[in-house]
Amino acid sequence: MEIRQSNFPLKKETDLIINAAIEIHSHLGCGFLEIVYKDAFCIELKNRGYFYEREKLYQIYYKGILLPHSFYADFIIFDAVILEIKSKSALASADVAQTLNYLRCSGCKVGLILNFGKPTLEIRRVVL
CATH of the domain at 34: 3.90.320.10
pLDDT tens-place string over residues 17-47:
999 999 999 999 998 999 999 999 999 999 9
Q: Is residue 4 part of a domain?
A: no
Longest dimension (CA), the chain: 49
Q: Residue 109 sits in which domain range?
A: 29-127
Q: Are 32 and 40 in contact (CB under 8 A)?
A: no
Answering whether pTM is above 0.85, one says: yes
Q: Is residue 12 part of a domain?
A: no
